[in-house]
Amino acid sequence: MATAAQLRAARALIGISQPQLAERCGSSTMTIKRAEGAGVPTPSLETIGKIKAALEAGGVVFMDAGSTREGGPGVRLRAGMSAETIALDDLNASNDE
């Protein structure tokens, strides 16, 4: 299953906000916030699976520990996909509202 850090990174990689992701997977924005590690209770495994599926539909590939050069879990774009980027200086909580 995906980690909170992977979910945050995946969403940032494809340049969508928490409300946009919530709409894509049929959840609430608060559920997305909790899945990304910003609260309790944590969403169910079924809900995490729906969030992950929505991100994968957007072109994200989730990599398990050992699949990356450094060995930790990660995310990347599927070959042939391009990211909608948010400038590093603009990557903050205001992108999520």
Question: CATH code at 62?
Answer: 1.10.260.40
Cβ atoms of 6 and 12 closer than 8 Å: no
Residue 5 has pLDDT above 80, yes or no: yes
Range of the domain at 55: 4-90
What pLDDT is stored for residue 92 in this prediction? 60
Domain count along the chain: 1
Residue 80 has pLDDT above 60, yes or no: yes
Instruction: Give the global pTM.
Output: 0.79
What pLDDT is stored for residue 38 in this prediction? 79
Give the type of residue at 29: T
Q: Considering the domain boundaries, does residue 96 fall inside one? A: no
Q: Alpha-carbon dihedral of residues 68, 73, 74, 80, nearest 10 degrees?
A: 60
